[in-house]
């Protein structure tokens, strides 16, 4: 999530496109950006898949205080 100067935010979805080296950024390709959503709080989600073709099912994002 990236905050914009107008009180909104953008969420960018990407996928890793190459091998990852420990302690460095992985090469990735953005496949969708959702822009202009209200920026109420910081939201971060990270998921890694060990096997090709793996999926997430019934994912819920909750606010932790």
pLDDT at 1: 61
Domain that holds residue 32: 1-65
pLDDT in tens, 20-60: 777 787 888 889 888 777 766 666 677 778 788 888 877 77
Q: Under a CB-based contact definition with an 8 Å cutoff, are residues 24 and 35 in contact? A: no
Among residues 47, 37, 30, the alpha carbon closest in space to that of 1 is found at 37
**Counted domains in the chain:** 1
The pTM is what? 0.47
Count H helices, E strands: the chain? 0, 3
């Amino acid at each position: 999530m990236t905050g914009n100067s107008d009180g909104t935010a953008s969420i960018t979805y990407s996928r890793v496109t190459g091998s990852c080296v420990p302690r460095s950024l992985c090469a990735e390709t953005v496949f969708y950006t959702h822009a202009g959503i209200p920026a109420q709080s910081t939201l971060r989600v990270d998921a890694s898949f060990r096997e090709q073709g793996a999926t997430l099912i019934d994912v819920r994002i909750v606010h932790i205080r």
